[in-house]
Structures are given as C-alpha cells and as structure tokens.
C-alpha cells in the first residue's frame, strides 16, 4: 500500500474509533501495513482528534527503527509481531475498550466462540501474560498468545485488546465484536448464580453489592452530585446537565455565595479538596453506575487495569461525607484523597469525586475509574478480582505523572 494513503487511513480510523468509544484521548494505537517489512503507526502521547498524516510514523518491522523526529507508539513492537505472525493481517487496532478490559483482569481465555462472532473473530480469544506497557515482557506475552491462537483478537492482561483485520473495516468489525463476546462471557457467568442471563451490567453490579455489602451497614445521607472548576479564588459549580448553579468563594474559612440561589453543603467538600491540592483545577462528582455500586460496598479500590494505576492512583479509598457535619467530614474526604499520586475518592453510597488539573482531565479520571469499577465488580462473579502488584502500580503512576501527562 502507498505510504501516504496508509497514513491517511490511520488518521481517519483514529477519529472514527474515538467517535465510537473504542479508544479515547491518547490511549490505544492504530497501525496499517504498507509492505512485508514496514507499517505506519500513530505517535506516542498525541490525541487522535488533532492527528494529521504528518504525525503518523513509518516503522520497520524487524528492528522497530523508524523515520523522522516523531516518536511512534510505545506499543509498536506489539503491532510488528501481529504482522510478522499473521501475514494476512493488514491493519491492527490496540484498544482499551471497556468489556475487553473486564476480561483482561480475569486472565482466562474465551473459548468455543460460535456463530457470527466466530466468523468475525475466530473460535477463541486468548489472554496474554502480564507485562508493563511498552516493555519486552509485554511483547513476549503477546507473541505467546499469537502462537496459540488463529483468531483475529487477543486480550492483554490488565490492559486491553489487540484487534486485527485484513484492512481497517475488518479490524473495526473485530473490535466491535470483541466487546459483544466479552459482555456475553460475563453475562453467562452471572446466569450461573441467578438462573438467568443478565441484560445489563447494572444487574451484575446489584448482585455483587448484595453479596458484598454488610447487612448492618447504615446508608449514608444522599448527596447532590455537582461538578466544579477552580478559577483563582472562586469555585464555579454546575449540575449534571451542565447548568451553572453557583459561584462560591474558595476562602477556607468563609462560605461566601457570589452567585446562585443558595450555599450547599457539598461545596465544603470541594473547597477542602482544592485547598489541600493546588494541582487540582476541576472536580467531577460521578454518579455513574459502576462507581456508585463500588461506593455502596465501600472498600478500597486497587488497580485492575494499567490506566487506572497511571491516571487514577495506586489505590482509591472511601470516605463518608456528612452534610450535617460538613467541615469535619470534608477534611476527611480531602485526607483520603491524599497527595498527587491519587485523583479520586469514593463517597460512601454516593459515587466518587474524580479530580484533575482541568475539566477534561477530571472526566478522564472518571472514565477510567468507571472502567476499573466495572472490571472489579464483574470479576466478583469469578472469585476475588485480580489486581496489579503494588510495585508495578507505583512505577506506572510515577512514569505517567512525570512523563506522559506532560505530553498532552
């Protein structure tokens, strides 16, 4: 294939994959084979929405050398192995898609795939052994998984999926079908416990909460989920429809209402977080299904996925915010958040506050937090959820904060 045409296809593919939710932000990577010895691939640490053909990098399969000053994706070795092991493959998509991520933490292959799914993907999806992102260990695990499967998809343990096709359209079909296969895999496991197949992940969450939540656990007071942004010495609050509801002073010892109908107790929690962490510029109070279910269980969350360790933290702890004792409980929430290596806190029975230097980054924290909660809750059907070791989690978090976050 002509190199310029391949680059154009990769750029368009990246944008379409973002639009469909299979990849997001700078996560994942896309490549297209141009010959038996070369492929083009997306660059490291750049958002898909702004990519141009000039950003796409030409890589040599054999030694992973590349042309130009732009650094290719750190997972270029995975793409090279897909092309080398499967000559019929012409396009590769590495995603962090949600349902495949659930299966990635389980570490078990999906076998005996049937019907249309078998036609698109193959009769099984293997899970590779774990390795840190961009490392030789991860690449070796991928090679082993490729060698024991003839299908067009493999899952990377604690990481995501690699979907392959003869061209982009074929690889895109594979990625979509992998999500359906992984969802069905979890729902069939659910049926072993309740006698019927789940129709939505919310049913899985409800079941896991009923099993894990203590019977004598008193429910926390219901909170209103507001999002906020810090601007100098004020906080601007919005409701979940995006409507601005209040502007409140950030002074630690004041409750100055600069605009809006009333001062609300949740503002004290946001204020305590902003005053503790100068690096935080936005807070999203998430009430998404998985996060809310996890908050009802109230246990500390550990990374089941690489991107959780990188973006959200090595752990996320749970605190209760009491609207009848706002100052004291607000300080407890801020204390549970801790330093810069953690960007979220579960709020007992009320979801979580997800933080970032700006609104976009806070929403990214929420997205990854929800995916990790989905993974851990679904994993409860298969026994205790498997998590990434502390050393690897700390290392990934440090590298992301120091290196990759500065590329955005």
Instruction: Determine the Cα–Cα distance for residues 176 and 180; give it in Å rounded to an integer.
Output: 7
Fold observed for domain 227-407: L-fuculose-1-phosphate Aldolase (3.40.225)
Tokens 């100098």 -> residue: 232
DSSP 221: P
Q: Hey, what are 104's tokens?
A: 């990635």
pLDDT given at position 33: 98
pLDDT given at position 19: 84
Say what angle helices 266-276 and 326-337 make with each other, to 10 degrees. Answer: 40
Instruction: Determine the Cα–Cα distance for residues 263 and 256; give it in Å rounded to an integer.
Output: 8
* Contact (CB, 8 A) for 128 and 67: no
Instruction: Determine the Cα–Cα distance for residues 19 and 170; give it in Å rounded to an integer.
Output: 17
Q: How many CB atoms lie within 10 A of CB 197?
A: 13
Category of 223 on φ-ψ map: left (φ > 0), alpha (ψ -120 to 50) or beta: beta
Q: Domain 3-193 maps to which CATH number in 3.40.1380.20, 3.40.225.10, 2.30.30.40, 3.90.1150.10?
A: 3.40.225.10
Burial of 53 per CB tally in 10 Å (0-12, 13-18, 19+): middle
Domain with CATH 3.40.225.10 in the chain: 3-193, 227-407
Q: Calculate the alpha carbon distances from 218 to 212, 215, 221, 320, 350 in Å.
A: 14, 8, 9, 11, 13
Q: pLDDT 10s per residue in the chain (408 long)?
A: 899 999 999 999 988 888 887 776 767 899 999 999 999 999 988 888 889 999 999 999 999 999 889 999 999 999 999 999 999 999 999 999 999 999 999 989 999 999 999 999 999 999 999 999 889 999 999 999 999 999 999 999 999 999 999 999 999 999 999 999 999 999 999 999 989 889 999 999 999 999 988 777 888 999 999 999 999 999 999 999 999 999 999 876 566 888 888 889 999 999 999 999 999 999 999 999 999 999 999 999 999 999 999 999 999 999 999 999 988 999 999 999 999 889 999 999 999 999 999 999 999 999 999 999 999 999 999 986 689 999 999 999 998 888 755 554
């Amino acid at each position: 294939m002509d190199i310029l045409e391949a680059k154009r296809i990769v750029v368009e593919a990246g944008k379409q994959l973002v639009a469909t939710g299979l990849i997001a932000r700078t996560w994942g990577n896309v490549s297209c084979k141009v010959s038996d010895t070369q492929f083009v691939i997306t660059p490291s640490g750049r958002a898909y929405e702004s990519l141009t053909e000039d950003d796409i990098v030409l890589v040599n399969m054999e030694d992973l050398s590349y042309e130009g000053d732009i650094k290719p994706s750190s997972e270029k070795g995975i793409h090279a192995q897909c092309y080398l092991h499967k000559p019929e493959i012409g396009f590769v998509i590495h995603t962090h898609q949600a349902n495949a991520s659930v299966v990635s933490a389980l570490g078990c292959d999906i076998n005996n795939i049937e019907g249309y799914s078998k036609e698109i993907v193959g009769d099984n999806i293997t899970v590779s052994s774990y390795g840190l992102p961009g490392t030789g260990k991860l690449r070796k695990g991928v090679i082993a998984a490729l060698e024991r499967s003839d299908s067009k998809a493999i899952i990377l343990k604690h990481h995501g999926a690699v979907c392959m096709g003869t061209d982009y359209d074929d690889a895109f079909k594979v990625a979509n079908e992998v999500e359906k296969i992984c969802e069905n895999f979890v729902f069939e496991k659910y049926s072993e416990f309740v006698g019927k197949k789940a129709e939505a992940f919310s049913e899985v969450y409800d079941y896991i909460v009923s099993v894990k939540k203590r019977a004598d656990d008193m429910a926390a007071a219901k909170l209103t989920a507001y999002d906020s942004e810090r601007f100098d010495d004020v906080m601007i609050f919005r409701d979940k429809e995006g409507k601005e509801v209040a502007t409140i002073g950030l002074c630690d010892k004041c409750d100055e209402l600069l605009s809006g109908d009333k001062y609300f107790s949740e503002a004290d929690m946001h204020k305590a977080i902003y005053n503790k962490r100068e690096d935080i510029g936005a807070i999203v109070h998430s009430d998404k299904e998985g996060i809310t279910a996890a908050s009802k269980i109230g246990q500390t969350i550990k990374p089941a996925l690489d991107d959780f360790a990188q973006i959200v933290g090595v752990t996320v702890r749970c605190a209760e915010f009491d609207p009848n004792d706002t100052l004291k409980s607000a300080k407890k929430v801020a204390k549970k958040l801790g330093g810069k290596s953690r960007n979220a806190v579960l709020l007992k029975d009320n979801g979580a506050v997800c933080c970032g230097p700006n609104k976009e980054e806070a929403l990214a924290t929420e997205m990854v937090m929800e995916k990790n909660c989905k993974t851990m809750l679904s994993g409860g059907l298969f026994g205790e959820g498997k998590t990434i070791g502390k050393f690897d989690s700390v290392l990934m978090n440090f590298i992301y904060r120091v290196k990759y976050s500065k590329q955005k």
